[in-house]
Structure 1
Amino acid sequence: LTDCGRDAFDQSYDKLAVDALRWIGEREGGSEAIAAFARARITAQAGAYRKAVEAVPPEKRTEALAKALSADGYAATARSAPVGEQLCQHHCPVAHAAEQFPQLCEAETEFFAELLGTHVQRLATIAHGDGVCTTFIPK
């Protein structure tokens, strides 16, 4: 089948990912092993995000990160807030796995803080049942 043909059938990628993460947790050290995997995963994706953010002045970095995240399917936007900015991800490609393994969201939040050079605060996540993932970035 072509990719288009395969898309017409049910997929079980989410189940596969959850099963793999559960296996890692059971066999390799529980929650810490899953957190290590989540950090390694975001590190593997970091190159494009880092390149996008470092190419612009500090006041444009949240917007640059949103564009880079959108290129990876997160449908992200950045907007000003009274004392900072909000980064909103309107889609999460790993939401079903993150529902059971919040370490994926936690690693992403840690990475955003490191990348943007400031403390950030996750206000909402799709995996937790919210409509969007929202991260506050203070000025």
Structure 2
Amino acid sequence: MTEVQAGQVPVLDPDERTRDRVLTAVLEHGPVSAAQMGKLLGLTPAAVRRHLDTLSRHGVIEVKLISNAKSGAGRPARRYVVSRQGQTKIGDDYLEIARLALKELAATRGGQGVMEFAERRFAHMESSYQPLVDAAGPDVAARSKALARALTADRFVATSDSLNPHSAMAAEQLCQGHCPIQELATTFPEFCDAETEVFSRLLGVDVRRLSTMASGGHVCTTHVPTGRAVVRKRVSAPAGTVRTNGNISNHQQERP
């Protein structure tokens, strides 16, 4: 590709533009054969295979062997599909779509609409984690460590470390090293608030979010008091319920 100077808009060469068309065809029509793509795009079979080979080398697409559904005889046909790696790369577009959709929701229903959406998003997490946390018993520290294990099983890479044990200031520091919605939460901190509320209900104590990756932290950190904490009776918040008591959100309470 021609080198792009500072301030210039990068321009794809013809090969790259055609390769993008081939990838789009695989995404939209896969599993699809090279011959079918040639007809769809108006390209020769040789040209299609050249671009397919390049996309395969980069791990963006992969070959799927499909047997003859009618007779089951003969060599399986080669069909092309987008690989998991390719789906991840293409997923950037879906992130932008999600961001635009949430902006539209905020424009029509305000922050309450976004908060209700975020709460519904975390409802499944709360229901699936509750038995795991309750199995740890009434000790808040044990519950926090159980929550960390549940989060880690879902690839949040979480830990729960004890601070100032055996004192009135005792606490657990619950940290998450991975956030799958970090980019969205940067624009919509309601997701961080909803998650923090779920943690509070799961653990049975008031927790405080100290930092989030969405706001620039290298991990998401939640302070869980245990020194004088007594697990309160759990009251599940109905889906879509938004706090209206004027309290400052957990996201706004964050410390640098």
For normalisation by structure 2, the TM-score amounts to 0.51
By how many angstroms is 1:10 displaced? Answer: 3.8
Structure 2: stretches of 5+ with no match in the other structure: 1-80, 165-169, 227-256
By how many angstroms is 1:81 displaced? Answer: 1.1
CA contact under 8 A between 1:48 and 1:68: conserved in structure 2?
A: no
Report the count of equivalent residues: 138
Written as runs of structure 1 = structure 2, the 5 A alignment for 1:96-135 is 96-135=183-222
By how many angstroms is 1:16 displaced? Answer: 2.2
Residue 16, structure 1, aligned to residue 103, structure 2: no
Partner of 1:76: 158
Note the aligned Cα RMSD (angstroms).
Answer: 1.5
Between the aligned partners of 2:90 and 2:178, the Cα distance in structure 1 is 20
TM superposition outliers: structure 1 runs of 4+ over 4 Å: none
Please list the CA deviations of residues 43-86 of structure 1 after superposition, one character each: whole Å capped at 9, or x if unmatched: 12212211210111233111111111112221111110112101
Partner of 1:86: 173
User: Aligned with 1:80: secondary structure?
Assistant: strand
Counterpart code for 1:22: K
User: Aligned with 1:58: secondary structure?
Assistant: coil
Structure 1: stretches of 5+ with no match in the other structure: none
Q: Which has the higher contact order (CA 8 A, sep 6+)?
A: 1
Counterpart code for 1:18: R
Written as runs of structure 1 = structure 2, the 5 A alignment for 1:25-104 is 25-27=106-108, 29-59=109-139, 60-82=142-164, 83-104=170-191
